[in-house]
Amino acid sequence: MSEAFPGPHAGPVTGHVPVLRLGEVLLVTLQGDLHDSTAQQLQQDLAETISRSGATGVIIDISGVEIVDSFLGRVLAEIAGQTELLAARTVLVGMRPAVAITLVELGLTLPGVHTALSTEVALDLLTRHAPSSHFGGLRQESP
Amino acid sequence: MHTAAGAQARLPIRSDMDLVWVRQHVRQAAAQIGFGLVDQTKLVTAASELARNTLVYGGGGTMETEPLAEGGTRGLRLTFSDEGPGIADLEQALSDGFTSGGGLGMGLGGARRLVHEFAIESNPGAGTTVRVTSWVGRAPRPREEI
């Protein structure tokens, strides 16, 4: 039943998720089925990496994630919250449509979490609006 | 994996590693039975919430999956059982935002919204059984019912 696993990575993910650095931005790609402890480890790793590197943005690509339940949803919301406390911003990228539909029905809309449909857009969002600019000014800038 | 027998199984829920197997098994069974991608995702998410409840609040237990066929419609039933402390106030446990375990409190009420049929039986001191069923191609339940 290979069609049961449409994702590129069927096996469970354990241990550390790699955190890549692109200038001022940290890039994390989540794939497959995440172990609870792996998600919590990532939360801790990101806080330490931001504080050590002075990164101003975090992009979390979840296009390879088939399921976001309330546990993973809470971890993602907490990552976004702690990132802001460390003077950086988190953008969640590439949520699958089925995941978005399910999350809303579950009752989790992740308020306060910024989203983008592609890594390119997220990168643009984070680098154009450098730490000095304020969130409220996002839409008012001329192109 | 066998065709009909593959969807029927009983899995242990003893660690967060088992939650991964539960999700993978439910996805596989749901795909096999013919659920579309969105419905598969809802069912797997509901299973993940309920299996985590079994683990965290029930101290571990089992999940049984059972393929169903009723008047030409196929379905999947999942039964989560534990022998934990049970739930004293079911109404409260089903309401959004209620949690006794440090979560978001979306587990039971959220899982109920993701399936067609939801039944819970719990007695303080005697454990909890949650049974959920979804049917292929059936529209979601109207919001006012939930």
Q: What is the ipTM of this complex?
A: 0.85
Residue A95 lies in a domain: yes
pLDDT at position B104, please? Answer: 43
pLDDT confidence band for B109 (50 / 70 / 90):
confident
Residue B71 lies in a domain: yes
- Put simply, the answer to whether A105 touches B42 (Cβ < 8 Å) is yes
Range of the domain at B35: 7-137
Residue B19 has pLDDT above 90, yes or no: yes
Number of domains in chain A: 1
What letter represents residue A27's amino acid?
L
Residue B103 lies in a domain: yes
Q: What is the mean pLDDT of residues B121-127?
A: 89
Number of CB pairs < 8 Å for A and B?
89
Q: What is the mean pLDDT of residues A79-85?
A: 96
pLDDT at position A12, please? Answer: 59
Residue A52 lies in a domain: yes
Residue A59 lies in a domain: yes
Residue B19 lies in a domain: yes
Given a contact cutoff of 8 angstroms between Cβ atoms, the answer to whether A102 and B38 are in contact is yes
pLDDT at position B76, please? Answer: 97
Residue A58 lies in a domain: yes
The domain spanning residue A69 has which CATH number?
3.30.750.24
Residue B68 has pLDDT above 70, yes or no: yes
CA proximity to A9, closest of A48, A62, A56, A60: A62
pLDDT confidence band for B6 (50 / 70 / 90):
low
By the 10 Å C-beta count (0-12 exposed, 13-18 middle, 19+ buried), A85 is classed as exposed
By CA distance, what is A66's nearest residue in B? B41
Distance between B72 CA and the closest CA of chain A, angstroms = 22
pLDDT at position B144, please? Answer: 59
pLDDT above 70 coverage of chain B, percent: 86
Using one digit for the tens of pLDDT, what is the confidence trace for B70-82? 998 999 999 999 9
Q: What is the mean pLDDT of residues B34-61?
A: 95
- Put simply, the answer to whether A74 touches B104 (Cβ < 8 Å) is yes
Number of domains in chain B: 1
pLDDT confidence band for A1 (50 / 70 / 90):
very low
Range of the domain at A14: 9-130
Mean pLDDT of chain B: 87
Q: How many Cβ atoms sit within 10 Å of the Cβ of residue B4?
A: 10
Residue A2 lies in a domain: no
- Separation between Cα atoms, residue B131 and residue B77, nearest integer Å: 7
Using one digit for the tens of pLDDT, what is the confidence trace for A93-123? 999 999 999 999 988 888 889 999 999 999 9
Residue A138 has pLDDT above 60, yes or no: no
Distance between A23 CA and the closest CA of chain B, angstroms = 34
Residue B51 lies in a domain: yes
Using one digit for the tens of pLDDT, what is the confidence trace for B33-43? 999 999 999 99
Residue A140 has pLDDT above 50, yes or no: no
CB nearest to B20's CB, from A4, A33, A70: A33
Given a contact cutoff of 8 angstroms between Cβ atoms, the answer to whether B79 and B61 are in contact is no
Using one digit for the tens of pLDDT, what is the confidence trace for A16-73? 899 999 999 999 999 989 889 999 999 999 999 999 999 999 999 999 999 999 999 9
Residue A140 lies in a domain: no
The domain spanning residue B97 has which CATH number?
3.30.565.10
- pTM of the predicted structure, to 2 decimals: 0.84
Distance between B127 CA and the closest CA of chain A, angstroms = 23
**Tokens 């007695």 appear where?**
B123
